[in-house]
Chains A and B, each alone.
Chain A
Amino acid sequence: MTQLFYASGAVAIVASILVVVGTDPMHAIISLAVVLLAIATIFWTLGAPFAAVLQIIIYAGAILILFVFAVMVLNLGREERAREKSLISGVIWVLPFVLTAALLAEFILVLANRQTMPAVAVVGPHPVGESLFTTYLIGVELMSMLLLAGLVAAFHFGVIPARLGEPDE
């Protein structure tokens, strides 16, 4: 179990670096799928089988399809890829890297000053569902409203009026 955790953690880190430095959107989406599946494995090793299954079904299954569809519709060509490559090369990485490395260092420093305890418990689907529909019932209702709002907003933005169909210039 521990080896599986560290292996899939390494896979997730490498694949997410590939997502961030990638130039081809479709390759990046495949890498993102690898990240999501590795994270599903991590959930399972942490004793959360229900979250792992939902991660695969909803994230890797449904949300990624939206990305695939968007990239397919946009159909960005080779020149866009070359431009992307020139945009993300060289010195542009330095400052964000320093900032986020400082953030990670602080985080690990905070963790290092605590006792390590193994995460042993396996929490199955039954207590999750029970908690979801008793303690967090209002949260579920709010989430359903958020999904409805997202649906309405996506529909609103997705309908492109004829006058906006042409470039502005």
Chain B
Amino acid sequence: MNNVTTDAALVLAGILFVIGAIGVLVRRNLIFVLMSVEIMLNAAAIAFVAAGSKWNQPDGQVFVIFILVTAAAEVAVGLSLLLRIYSQWRSVDTDEVSLLKERSNE
């Protein structure tokens, strides 16, 4: 019934992870950085599911649930930090938020 190869799924996970990594490296807007992190987490989840169904074990899907929970906590904290940063700097640009640098120059 199902002849998707594990390798194809792992290559897809790799491609999606790399796209997310490019987003994290290139973007300066915190919203887009957080969304790129979401793509990277999902790529890892694909790899877990592929490995789990290759070995016919439920562990892969268990770790997908763990990834979901981690992503939920990360997004909650990340977005509340984002709102806090916006309320203080009126910007969501990571280049604007250089408080540590300014303090060390004084």
Is B100 among interface residues, defined by CB-CB distance under 8 A? no
Q: A20-B36, A63-B71, A84-B29 are in contact. Are A119 and B53 (CB under 8 A)?
A: yes
In the bound assembly, the distance between CA atoms of A12 and B14 in angstroms comes to 12
Among B7, B61, B81, B92, which residue has its beta carbon within 8 angstroms of that of A114?
B7
Task: Across the interface, name the chain A residue whose C-beta is closest to B76.
Answer: A154
Residues on B with beta carbons closer than 8 Å to the beta carbon of A108: 11, 14
Contact with A along B31-71 (1 / 0, CB 8 A): 11011101100100110011011111111111011101111
Q: A48-B53, A128-B61 are in contact. Are A67 and B75 (CB under 8 A)?
A: yes
Considering only residues 47-72 of chain A, those with a C-beta below 8 Å from chain B are 47-48, 50-51, 54-55, 58-59, 62-63, 66-67, 69-71
Number of A-B pairs, beta carbon distance below 8 Å: 267
CB distance from B73 to the nearest CB of A (A): 3
Is A82 among interface residues, defined by CB-CB distance under 8 A? no
Among B5, B21, B53, which residue has its beta carbon within 8 angstroms of that of A122?
B53
CB distance from B25 to the nearest CB of A (A): 4
Among A17, A99, A139, A168, which residue has its beta carbon within 8 angstroms of that of B89?
A168
Q: Give the B interface residue count (CB, 8 A).
A: 75
Among A20, A36, A62, A103, which residue has its beta carbon within 8 angstroms of that of B32?
A20
Q: A70-B82, A131-B58 are in contact. Are A118 and B5 (CB under 8 A)?
A: yes
Residues on A with beta carbons closer than 8 Å to the beta carbon of B38: 32, 36, 59, 63
Most buried by A among B50, B69, B81, B82: B69
A158 x B83 contact (CB < 8 A): yes
B72 x A147 contact (CB < 8 A): yes
CB distance from B68 to the nearest CB of A (A): 5
Contact with B along A1-24 (1 / 0, CB 8 A): 110011001001100110110100
Contact with B along A29-54 (1 / 0, CB 8 A): 10010011001001101111011001
- Which residues of B does A touch, CB under 8 Å? 1-12, 14-16, 18-23, 25-29, 31-32, 34-36, 38-39, 42, 45-46, 49-50, 52-62, 64-66, 68-77, 79-84, 86-90, 92-93
A13-B12, A157-B81 given; 14 more Cβ-contact pairs under 8 Å:
A13-B16, A25-B31, A32-B35, A36-B42, A45-B2, A45-B4, A46-B53, A48-B61, A51-B64, A66-B75, A111-B7, A120-B56, A123-B52, A128-B61
